[in-house]
Structure 1
């Protein structure tokens, strides 16, 4: 085994990096220069040292040498410092002589040189490494730096933060047990508070804590050190000022590795003035941004548009900004820690308010354009873009609430496009914004809700708020009172379009009360008004609701004719959402005609149209039709009932089904319960209810999709457990690591609510015995 020179053994365990170490080792076996790049505190040094220690055992017979550069300031001392690590007997040579000595020492050796923390000496490191690699063919270099060295032959390995629990996953102890960020927090907290473990009472707080710390190992370790005097809940509460909270690193560490602020200060010092300015200004964005938005918000005479792209690229290179390709566009992100640091700098500069106003104006422009182009070929694109920029919409709405006189601008943001809150499945959030903005607008304009500038906008917001309440399941009496208030305001101000929407909403209430004839008439009147106003999309929406009313309980021929009209218009305009609603009406017609195959086909086609909008309200109605058409397969029907429960929970209201479907839903569930033993029904229902949306949709759309809640690989592993295979056998059969097989089995047990492999084996055996399609 070769020498391992430069640093001693590890003092703490490396958690959650097994995949990365294996990938870096493979990369290093073929590349002569590998640079681990990433933001400060992400764990580049620890990864490099682990890879180097593993490599020292076999791959480099002439030694592994680690050179720590953080404390070095003079580029002229770089080569002598490296030489000092390799040859402690002859240190102190001048730069040129040291480089020559290094070449002589390494030219015929198979060795690994680890250069740790190169970013502040990037040019000198690049020159030295280039010279050494050219002269020493057996040499490999592993560098860590916040930016690549930028020389020929370099392979850059971006080091990402640790994975954190998803915001929408369960936060029990079992659900968090295999999460690397939680494991790191637990390990480091136990080191300062012996016996510490994550309990059910604080699991959600720990999950949120590591999520808000971006999975950044250094920040997590500093937070864990606070467990001596604070609970996880208290640490989370104080994270509003993370730079004051996260201090107290190792006393023997470099100054910049003792506090979170010092760590980010180091990155800031390495930036040019223009890069610092863009960093600060870009901090107004939440959740990411694209180049066009960055240019609109951040560019001016001080930061010219022509220089912005190069400046942004420099921040990407220096790991301040991350770039990803999402939905065909480049989007940029900052870790929340990095963003908050920039936000502090922006506030200190005195230009925070001006930049936030530009940010608000940018997203007001985007939402207005989305509203104008909603009905047409860009509908899905606009929805996707708004979903990606939803955190920025929130930030813009916050600005409108915080600044006097801006509430009406906030209302314009909140109601365009009209159906965003509905199709995005954000009913509760939409109502919160609308109610707060309406209250602020009322105070600013002395309650004038009928006439004057912007009055139509206020009425539109009131009508939208009322409709969201309907969809959440507000009591009908409350909804009717709110609609009456909206109608009175619309009539006083002559706002005919809003009056038509009130009529549409009354039509929805009539459907829910199974008064299909009245519903159809209300939709006819509203449609006529929308057509008179030139609102084609609204007119077609009334037409498709007319079709649904008749498909469920009225004139079949009228429903069929209306479906055809909406489908033709949707195809002509390359529109998706109304097309999906027309297919839902077709599914209801097929169900009414006792044609379950056609009902399922049309409902699935509707889901394919509606799913890109995250319109879980209408998707749930489609799943309802599919479930009703699956009654001869009670186990599958029970799972679909569980999926329905999950979907209605995700909508965030008080409904368990669409109101006009409720009676049939209750009868159907009773029939399925009667067809199955109680334990079997509960088990299948639970599997559907615990599935993620993607897993549930895979099951709904494909009979062969597997078990809701289990991935295809997990279903495969479950079958092998039933065959009696051990984890080692499963790993060999599937050509995966034994630890991976163990993780699969643990996740399967957790998802299915089992505690032993025997229970899992019995369950898998029972599934094999089920009739096809059950």
Structure 2
């Protein structure tokens, strides 16, 4: 979970993907779109599928970055099939921690209040009415918000300005051009031809548009109506065909369309012809794989392709070669993430594959196989929850969020599969708890519990009892203790009927958390002690660690620091024995609180900083916020009031994103209030507000750096001083890695930080230096190292 700080500072002000291929043409459309963005609240780019609406929107948004200082976010709607989750999908794309159990629209309005921001809603056509309603509601509630949408059809709301994106122009052959070609003069290229030439050169080394082939190239682009997607797919065929052969095959396919629907737009018929042609150029097994991978949403890896798509005509050992073939034909797009390769279908190609799959009468069977595969992924993740691969599993589940959602939608749409859906969403508990998806997790759990009738025996009863406990923990984190208590009452009754000691241990553990929420620390201590003993007997290290952490926190609340320290150390020992990280970070936080209560501020500080580094790398906002809180409390104890105020300002930004102050740690509000009071007393009301604003105004990466530094309270946040502004030590280190040509992923791996943190640092470096590209960073650093190395901040 990535924390986005308050004010105009965000972890990643421009949440847009980097361009990986050249942007060709569209000067007029880009200029017109930017003009509309300066005056309209909603701008929609319309046009046929494959015309390049998304690419144009991303370029326009990137160029308008300074126009929207408080953030630009891309919301990719193509993987979303359930209209009820539209607002939730926007919440997740904006990286807002949904911990409050309030409607997603309310979360968006609260988060974006007073922000001059841009949201790009991409691929709205299949959710047209819902997108129109959401966009209309947002712009009416948020006067500084602008929405840039892409859709095959206008949203149809009053505040909307529509810009139709036409195909790329193709220059007609003329006598003058023919003469120039014969004379050996360089051919004049239209945007469509330039696109074809650049993409062709990427697959055929040395390819150029020459006097000999320009006529055929222009004919290909014209027959494809200048559609960028069609042109790019055609250019890839030059791996096996000449331009003239491509043209011949296009002629054949277009003739087949004469019997098609005359009600369809010509460009749509052209794109379908290209899809048909691309499909027929594949081998029989490649076509079968194309159909089957269309059940995936948000991409897939090779293992998933082998498990879901093999059988009935495709041997598992053939999948790799078939995937490679589809990548070569630009049907599958290859993407590398954290050293692993994933594949995805462009949405137009995926929809074509889904139609072919439906026509084969295999869609339901493939959806079932897809669901079963991700049910096993969720079960494996739960089994590996408490161990050295935990963080890797967290990352994988985040990558697979769209597929997990699709699998759950299948199970909850099949009456005979409700139990599987309930078990799967319960297995994903830690995915819901630590990620952006807490609100969605609660909704899945509630839906599953409502669909699957209560049972008091066998596996079905055990599944329901576990789900009730999972839902209770989610509601506790959302500070809904009343709902949690009701869920636990049923779970406890069911666990006793089943004789399930393991489930009963969790019921008692979560009841202790509810007691803490109600201010009854003494009862909480008794319940957590009983839970810890039961977890020891059942041999569940995750439950034991969690019980010990909660026991430590409860003892800190009542002022008994010694047992608080003892139980936190025991929790860390359990985690260390299993090489586990997430619970250990919370155990470090709890130990730091206990040591702070004992007056051991130096050791407490070191522990909180270690926990902060882990939470930052993992993206756990509630854990991050709590570490910041404790560091502020320690700073006040050491009379470093200015530093305490700044860190409280940073923490306030985190809690505003989370939606609940001290989410999951509400019992510690008394320490927060005392810290604020002492800092205000020392600095004065105005001095405290000024320092807190400075902390809240720091960009994410710089804010974390400040919280981790050792300087005294006199340290000031880094000032922005223009083009030659000095960088912080971390920024200088990252700038050096940029200069070496490392990607954001490689930088994150080198420094053992999250990729989002690396991106935040690089974005801030660009803003601080007034640059627009990584190449400028490299040149600037080279100049300073060559001429004035002493000027660098160290």
* TM surpasses 0.5: yes
Q: CA RMSD in A?
A: 4.8
Q: Deviations over 1:96-147 (max 9, x none)?
A: xxxxxxxxxxxxxxxxxxxxxxxxxxxxxxxxxxxxxxxxxxxxxxxxxx9x
Contact 2:71–2:118 under 8 Å retained in 1: no
Identify the residue that residue 306 of structure 1 maps to in structure 2.
317
Structure 1 residue 465: Cα displacement: 0.8
Structure 1 residue 454: Cα displacement: 0.9
Structure 1 residue 462: Cα displacement: 1.3
Identify the residue that residue 472 of structure 1 maps to in structure 2.
478
Of 759, 767, 781, which aligns to 1:744? 767
Paired positions, count: 546
Contact 1:247–1:260 under 8 Å retained in 2: no
Structure 1 residue 484: Cα displacement: 2.1
Identify the residue that residue 25 of structure 1 maps to in structure 2.
none
Identify the residue that residue 419 of structure 1 maps to in structure 2.
430
Alignment of 1:77-226 (within 5 A): 163=58, 173-175=68-70, 207-209=120-122, 223=150
Identify the residue that residue 549 of structure 2 maps to in structure 1.
544
Identify the residue that residue 396 of structure 2 maps to in structure 1.
385
Distance 1:577 1:178 in 2: 28
Identify the residue that residue 291 of structure 1 maps to in structure 2.
302
Contact 1:377–1:575 under 8 Å retained in 2: yes
Identify the residue that residue 10 of structure 1 maps to in structure 2.
none
Structure 1 residue 587: Cα displacement: 0.7
Contact 1:642–1:688 under 8 Å retained in 2: yes
Three-state SS of the structure 1 residue aligned to 2:527 is helix
| TM, length-normalised to structure 1 | 0.61
Identify the residue that residue 342 of structure 1 maps to in structure 2.
353
Identify the residue that residue 732 of structure 2 maps to in structure 1.
none
Distance 2:706 2:350 in 1: 39
Identify the residue that residue 353 of structure 1 maps to in structure 2.
364
Of 516, 521, 533, which aligns to 1:511? 516
Identify the residue that residue 674 of structure 2 maps to in structure 1.
667
Identify the residue that residue 589 of structure 2 maps to in structure 1.
584
Distance 1:438 1:493 in 2: 18
Contact 1:320–1:338 under 8 Å retained in 2: yes
Identify the residue that residue 404 of structure 1 maps to in structure 2.
415
Identify the residue that residue 187 of structure 1 maps to in structure 2.
none
Three-state SS of the structure 2 residue aligned to 1:406 is helix
Identify the residue that residue 35 of structure 2 maps to in structure 1.
none
Distance 1:180 1:470 in 2: 29
Contact 1:688–1:696 under 8 Å retained in 2: yes
Identify the residue that residue 765 of structure 1 maps to in structure 2.
none
Structure 1 residue 358: Cα displacement: 0.8
Of 245, 248, 269, which aligns to 2:277? 269
Identify the residue that residue 645 of structure 1 maps to in structure 2.
652
Identify the residue that residue 727 of structure 1 maps to in structure 2.
none
Identify the residue that residue 96 of structure 1 maps to in structure 2.
none
Identify the residue that residue 435 of structure 1 maps to in structure 2.
446
Three-state SS of the structure 1 residue aligned to 2:313 is coil
Three-state SS of the structure 2 residue aligned to 1:208 is strand
Structure 1 residue 396: Cα displacement: 0.8
Distance 2:167 2:274 in 1: 15
Gaps of 5+ in 2: 1-15, 28-51, 77-111, 127-146, 171-221, 228-265, 728-738, 740-762, 772-794
Structure 1 residue 295: Cα displacement: 0.8
Cα pair distance change 1:201/1:608, threshold 3 Å: closer
Structure 1 residue 265: Cα displacement: 4.8
Cα pair distance change 1:288/1:695, threshold 3 Å: farther
Contact 2:640–2:712 under 8 Å retained in 1: no
Contact 2:635–2:643 under 8 Å retained in 1: yes
Three-state SS of the structure 2 residue aligned to 1:350 is coil
Cα pair distance change 1:528/1:227, threshold 3 Å: closer
Q: Deviations over 1:541-579 (max 9, x none)?
A: 212322232244354333333333333332222111232
Three-state SS of the structure 1 residue aligned to 2:550 is helix
Three-state SS of the structure 1 residue aligned to 2:335 is strand
Identify the residue that residue 51 of structure 1 maps to in structure 2.
none
Identify the residue that residue 318 of structure 1 maps to in structure 2.
329
Identify the residue that residue 462 of structure 2 maps to in structure 1.
456
Distance 2:307 2:535 in 1: 35
Distance 2:75 2:766 in 1: 13
Three-state SS of the structure 2 residue aligned to 1:381 is helix
| TM, length-normalised to structure 2 | 0.59
Structure 1 residue 162: Cα displacement: 6.9
Contact 2:509–2:528 under 8 Å retained in 1: yes
Distance 1:496 1:672 in 2: 48
Three-state SS of the structure 2 residue aligned to 1:330 is strand
Identify the residue that residue 125 of structure 1 maps to in structure 2.
none
Identify the residue that residue 764 of structure 1 maps to in structure 2.
none
Distance 1:531 1:438 in 2: 29
Alignment of 1:494-509 (within 5 A): 494-509=499-514
Cα pair distance change 1:392/1:171, threshold 3 Å: farther
Contact 2:557–2:668 under 8 Å retained in 1: no
1:486 aligns with 2:491: yes
Distance 2:118 2:570 in 1: 52
Q: Deviations over 1:571-622 (max 9, x none)?
A: 2221112322221122112211233332221111122344444332233222
Cα pair distance change 1:720/1:420, threshold 3 Å: closer
Contact 2:723–2:770 under 8 Å retained in 1: no
Structure having greater relative contact order (Cα 8 Å, sep ≥ 6) = 2
Contact 1:246–1:260 under 8 Å retained in 2: no
State the structure with more CA Rg.
1
Three-state SS of the structure 2 residue aligned to 1:570 is helix
Cα pair distance change 1:233/1:669, threshold 3 Å: farther
Distance 1:693 1:707 in 2: 21
